[in-house]
Amino acid sequence: MYANSTAAMSELVFYVNGKKIVEKNPSPTTLLADVLRYKLKLTGTKVSCGEGGCGSCTVMVSWFDRSTSKILHYSVNACIVPICLLHGLAVTTVEAVGSTKTRLHELQERLVSGHGIQCGFCTPGMVMSMYALLRSNPVPTELQIEHALKGNLCRCTGYRPILDAFRSFSKDSGCPMGDRCCRNKDKKNSSDVVENCNENKNESDMGKQELIFPSELQLSDVYDQQTLEFKSDEVTWLRPVCLKDLLLLKKQHPEALLAAGGTNVAFYLRNASREKPLVIIATTHITELRSFEENEDGFLVGAMTSMTLLENKLMSLIDKHSETKTRLYHSLLDALCLFGSPQIRNRATIGGSLATASRLADVNVLLLAAGSHVKIASTDGEREVKIHDFFTGKSTTCLKPNEVITDVLLPFSTQDEYCGFYKQSPRKDLTLADVNAGLLMEFEAKNSSTVKNAFFAFGGLSSMLAVAKKSSSFVIGRKLDGSLLNELMLSLANELDQFVSGDDAKSFKVAVAQGFMFKFFLKISHQRFPKLEFLRLFKEEERYLLSSQADLQQKHSGVQVYDIITNQSETDSVGQPVPHRYAKQCATGEAVFIDDILPSQGELYLTLVTSTKASAKILKIDPSKALAMKGVVGFLDHTSIISSNKTGLYLDEEIFATEKVDFVGQTIGAVVAESHEIARKAARAVVIEYEELQPITTIEDAISHNSFHSWPGDMGAINYGNVSKAFGSCDHVIEGELKVGSQEHFYMETNSVRVVPKGEDGEMDIYCGAQFATGIQMVVASALNVPCNRIVVHTKRMGGAFGGKEFRSYLVTLPSALAAHRFNRPVRCSLERRQDMQITGYRRPYLAKFKVGFNNDGKVLALSLDMYSNDGFHPEISPIFMAQSLFYSDNCYAIPNIHVRGHLCKTNLPPTTAMRGAGVPQGVLICEYWMTKIREINMYRGGDVTFISVPIEDSMTRCFDEVLKQSNYEQALVNIENFNQQSAFLKKGIAVTPVKFSPGLPPSWCMAGAIVNVYLDGSVLLYHGGVESGQGLHTKMIQIASRVFDLSIDKIHISETSTGVIPNSVTTGGSSGTDLNGGAVLDACNQLMARLKPIKDSNPNGKWEDWVKTANEQKINLSASGYYSHAYKEDFDWKTGKGRPYSYYTYGSAVTQVEIDCLSGSYVILKVDIVMDVGKSLNPAIDVGQIEGAFVMGTGLYALEEHLFGANGHLETSGAGKYHIPTISSIPLEMNVSLLKDCGNPQAVYSSKGIGEPPLLLSNSVFFAIENAVIAARRQAGLSPDFAFNSPATTKQIQSACGLGPQHLLKSLVT
């Protein structure tokens, strides 16, 4: 098989955290994350998306580069790295960086103290990305730090505290307050604290505790020289170490896949169905493919060169050669800057990118335009191919089955040659392009304006890379002037229109491609003829056009200001910015999430078998192929049910579908096996036969088919005042519609459960990351036909939830419990990301139809509003959430006459569920949509009462006035107006939004319990019914206890939430966790202090431990059970419209400024100012974190995240690669948060207020700022300011709405 006679090794050797790992004949399908988690038990490495798109699984890989005699460190995604690629390499995981048992690493310490941790699931990945950077570059710039984290997603924090903590390692970091830094003040006389002060933090202990690179790998090249061969039943993995052997293997296995960086191989290994065994040839150690050669034509790059290494080489060449000679290299750096993520760039290779022939590959389209050459080799010889001839069709190249790419020539640019790379994508990072372009233009001679040659290539327009041949030829021989630009735009539009026929985004893609050409034309005009008279550009536009992608990167900043209490005991932590109680465990990877729990002997793994049809009769369920697989233990379906097959809040859902399926993702069965991998593979082998029926999938379909869920009782409409009469007296009446898109929770930890049968009396322990432990207990007890006292639910923490683990977690829990009961063995189920997204619910989308009447002074007199929500096939809690939308149809405005109605559409989509904001984000956006121009005259004032009888506090208007002052709103308006008058294709917008939100649950749920145990050593163990999901609930409960006991928080511990300790707990949601559970904890602690009071009085100088010891000696009970029920019990009467559903509001206001690119639709959030009334904060750092995180999540809802189902009911935006939550690049460049001073709230513990959801509503200011920028563009284009603009405000919608195409811009730019 190999040219030399040495036999291939079947033993894999690599190091993990300094320990040598030897695997004899490992399975080629095994991925690094699986080895770390399931074999080595290093569960600090998390798996969230399974496709290298979120960074949770980031680890560091190190190797000794013998060509430079240096140890190189780089971050990779462990979830997509096959272990067979690791021979002779060293892997470092978060466990080796620092530990609570020894000491934390400096970067972990700073992340903890900087409040950069909430749920903590993403934290180990963040730590490892930063750690890998610091090992390579101990003192990076702030932008390098941000760049290193662009491959890591976080759904909780909003990223700002993470960036602040890590940027303290940069030399140029400092306090954002400058001379006003709190460190420059007298602490005793200052109550203003700036949270992210980095002063004096850049003295690092880096290097003092770093893991030493294995000497064996550094001193010997034996592993580099070994040929490898690993086999399984399905895959053969071969690794040659010289080009000759590679070519022989490719001749013997022409169908073989080549694995260089391996970024795509994992998908073949795990997901592809194969009719015959797969052969993979790893090219990682072929030195001939990693060579570099500079010649007179350009730079010859080995095909195995990673994108990161290519980036470094190009920067060296740019430093070495003139700007004119390296123009292509500058453009390549632009492409690489936007390529994937750091983890992907560290592995992906230039040869691999070309071989995929992807129509969206950023590098490919530029190399095509630049006329690169590709060198190809086989056992038949070598050949060189022009890249124009290399790509032959859809994902195809001219490569013969036995050929491989060896080198790629990156040509030097000539003095008269210009090139550019452009990309438009839904999100800046971690996202494939909607459209990209590689553009080249060459002129006749120095100072000539006559075009000699041109080549225009585009990606994303069709199934393959598109070359605009006619337009390229059209410009040749023409002079660079306004006439050419105008004609070129028309030519390009006509030519590209043919490429995108049949695409529903046709006009958008053609317009974006035109915009690319427009920018390129202006760029080369200014580069070649800086004083060209026929063009005039605003300075900001000139900077935007001429700067590289790297130069356009801007660092993020912000200030967080709040009061802290100074006149209290040192041990009283209430009101202090205490870090998250379990932040250190999260930073070190020690925090245990559900799938981190080590399996017990005989533990089984379950995978759901779900429907692939939206509406169909089930004709046959055949699990025979699955049951025949080795390691499969059994299959469950509706015939396995012990008691009733009915479940759900209204018992209207089936555990397992029986005769019919009503949505894609409905559970039909479950496969139980001895490993995750076997169970998932077997689940795909179960055969389901259907008879398809016609589904209803949209709101419009539901309306036309009169398909609605019924409302319980009299709910569904509110009639306040006399709307009909009011409309008759209005000066103006406007009508309109607004669509609000849905949103996926995208919590980092997918729904997971572990069920352990106790072996007697039907007892069972359930470990799950669910918000409603009692709900899980009840449905499991019902399904197993046992009393609730036999089922104990344990929840230690959740890796995010946001409502998504409140009512749908039973989807994984019930089948797992049935399997554990049947096989009498522990069973766990952890959903893969795509399945979790398809089946577990989402925020409901809305269609609103409104009619508003107002007078000439802007005072609103009447509102008539119909809201339609797409609630899927089962209503679940839709009535409650639509009720919330109706209650907030006024937002912060006094409307004397209101008639609002809610309609619950029944469709063949998965049921919607709870999500952060509970129906309020939709209702508030709808209100603000029509209220924007007439806001202030209609705002409530302190002392007013809403139409649902809830009083308004003056802090609402105080927040509004304060944020206008803080943001310098009036001056910002003037600046933006001046900017928009001067700028042709960049427009700015500003918007201010007030909100009110009432934390709470339905009145019948407003109760909580707690138990506080004091032990003989003085330590305290606290239990309550709430669940920690990253919102800091446990931390606040500990702070409450610390105040009552006047005890250091280090003495107080919370282990978990358990139904075996706290019975009948309500769900943790509605921003009510602290209000309810805090009241119960306070009650229990007060009871204990009352018992201890006589002892304290008799020994006032004693210590806590002395009092506890004495109490025990006096046989005083040191355990107390606390209980709290909300004092406010009034409810809303839907029939009469009377009553008061809420006890208080949390208030806030935000001012947001944005800048949009009218040609592409891309936007930047320039600045956000927020002022929130949180009462007297229990923990201002946690509250600020909730504000920032909620705002960024809301930015996704209103301006980024498209959650789309196809007509067939399948989720089209499934997985991290297609569903785009905000990244670091999505957040505001400047984000300032202030907590309103001198506020209180007598209706909650220590005058605090619920804060988890209210700030999310403020992010609709992003939507309206974008809309205002679009209006400015439309005004310039001579279009009406009245236009359809729905949420989310995606780049596609922005570009289309602007109506400011190149033809309009020519009028303003060309003289």
Residue range 84-99: mean pLDDT, rounded: 96
CB 211 within 8 A of CB 92: yes
CA distance 239 to 28: 12
Alpha-carbon 610 to chain mean position: 25
For the segment 959-992, what is each residue's pLDDT rounded down to a tens digit?
999 999 999 999 999 999 999 999 888 999 999 9
Three-class secondary structure of residue 898 per DSSP: strand
Q: Which residues contact 513 (CB under 8 A, 6 or more apart)?
A: 435, 437, 458, 461, 492, 496
Q: Following CA atoms 430, 436, 438, 443 in sequence, which dihedral angle do they give, to the nearest 10 degrees?
A: -130
Over residues 463-476, the pLDDT tens digits come to: 889 999 999 999 99
Q: Which two tokens stand for residue 960?
A: 């509004």
Residue 135 in tokens: 């090992």
pLDDT tens for each residue of 217-231 = 999 999 999 999 999
Sheet of strand 1146-1157, all strands in order from the earlier edge strand to the far edge: 192-194, 557-563, 1230-1235, 1163-1173, 1146-1157, 986-997
CA distances from 693 to 51, 660, 663, 668 (A): 33, 10, 11, 17
Catalytic residue among 142, 1028, 1202, 1253: 1253
- Local confidence band at 203 (pLDDT 50, 70, 90 cut-offs): very low
d(CA 1262, CA 1260): 5
Rounded to 10 degrees, the C-alpha dihedral 1249/1254/1259/1265 comes to: -80
Tell me the residue length of the chain. Answer: 1311
On whether the CB atoms of residues 302 and 288 are closer than 8 A, the answer is yes
Chain centre to alpha carbon of residue 860: 39
Dmax over CA atoms of the chain, in Å, equals 103
Q: What is the DSSP string of 467-486?
A: E-HHHHHHHTT-BSSHHHHH
What are the pLDDT digits (tens) for 905-930? 999 999 999 999 999 999 999 999 98
d(CA 1276, CA 1278): 5
Q: Is the dihedral of CA 1270, 1271, 1273, 1277 positive or negative?
A: positive
Structure tokens at 480: 């660079």
Higher pLDDT, 1292 or 532: 1292
Beta carbons within 10 angstroms of residue 296's beta carbon: 5
Tens digits of residue pLDDT in 936-965 = 788 999 999 998 889 999 999 999 999 999
pLDDT digit string, tens, across residues 403-442: 999 999 999 999 999 999 999 999 998 999 999 999 999 9
Helix (H) or strand (E) holding 378: strand 373-378
For 109-234, list the strands marked E by DSSP: 192-194, 228-231
Q: Are 918 and 803 in contact (CB under 8 A)?
A: yes
Predicted confidence (pLDDT) at residue 546 exceeds the cutoff of 90 = no
DSSP, res 813: H
Q: Look up 1253 and say whether it is catalytic.
A: yes
Q: How many percent of the chain have pLDDT more than 70?
A: 94
Helices (H), 418-468: none
- Are 992 and 1261 contacting, i.e. CB atoms less than 8 angstroms apart? yes
Give ∠ CA 912-913-916 in degrees, rounded to 5.
125
pLDDT band at 233 (very low <50, low <70, confident <90, very high): confident
Which of the residue ranges 251-260, 523-532, 967-976 would you say has the lowest mean pLDDT?
Answer: 523-532
Q: What is the structure's pLDDT at 205?
A: 53
**311: nearest Cα among 326, 332, 327, 328:** 332
Token match 């407003």: residue? 1006
Mean pLDDT of 880-899: 94
* Sign of the dihedral through C-alpha 155, 157, 163, 168: negative
Distances (CA, A) of 37 to 271, 606, 1034: 20, 17, 27
- Reduce the DSSP state of residue 312 to 3 states and report it: helix
Q: Tens of pLDDT along 301-355?
A: 999 999 999 999 999 999 999 999 999 999 999 999 999 999 999 999 999 999 9
- β partners of residue 63: 72
| 747 in Cβ contact with 837 (< 8 Å) | no
pLDDT of residue 199: 46
How confident is the model over 521-529, as a mean pLDDT? 86
Mean pLDDT of the chain: 92
Torsion of CA 202, 345, 1225, 1185, to 10 degrees: -60
Tokens 């609000």 sit on residue: 740
- Statement: residue 272 has pLDDT above 70: no
Alpha-carbon dihedral of residues 148, 152, 154, 157, nearest 10 degrees? -10
pLDDT for 186 equals 46
Is residue 1290 within 8 Å of 1263, Cβ to Cβ? no
In angstroms, how far is CA 991 from the centroid of its own chain? 25
Query: 1094 has which bridge partners?
Result: none
Distance CA 1029, CA 156 (A): 9
> Got the DSSP string for 31-97?
BHHHIIIIIS--TTS--SSSSSSS-TTEEEEEEEETTTTEEEEEEEEGGG-BGGGGTT-EEE-GGGT
Residue 181: the pLDDT is 54
